[in-house]
Amino acid sequence: MAKRKDELEVEVLDLPVEQRADLARRLIESLEEPAAGEFEAEWIAEAERRYAAYREGQTTGRSGDEVFRDAKARLK
């Protein structure tokens, strides 16, 4: 794999500046952004678990106003 990386590096460094910049931007974005939908299934499962616990009386809800008030207080 190191050999392939080295070969790619040589090829990429021979590209014009604009193409190298575009490729660099795209590579950085690929590191920063999770793949589309990567965590969606986990969030859906968590939301369903929490909703089931609420319906079964295992937990209580809070108003949005209360949640945002507490969040703002923590940020101060």
pLDDT of 40 over the 90 cut: no
Domain-wise residue ranges, the chain: 2-32, 40-75
pLDDT of 38 over the 90 cut: no
Q: DSSP states of the chain as a string?
A: -HHHHHHHHHHHHTS-HHHHHHHHHHHHHHHHSPPTTTTHHHHHHHHHHHHHHHHTTSS----HHHHHHHHHHHH-
For the segment 10-28, the average pLDDT, to the nearest whole number, is: 93
For the segment 56-64, the average pLDDT, to the nearest whole number, is: 92
Share of the chain above pLDDT 70, in %: 93
Confidence category of residue 55, pLDDT binned at 50, 70, 90 = very high
For the segment 20-25, the average pLDDT, to the nearest whole number, is: 93
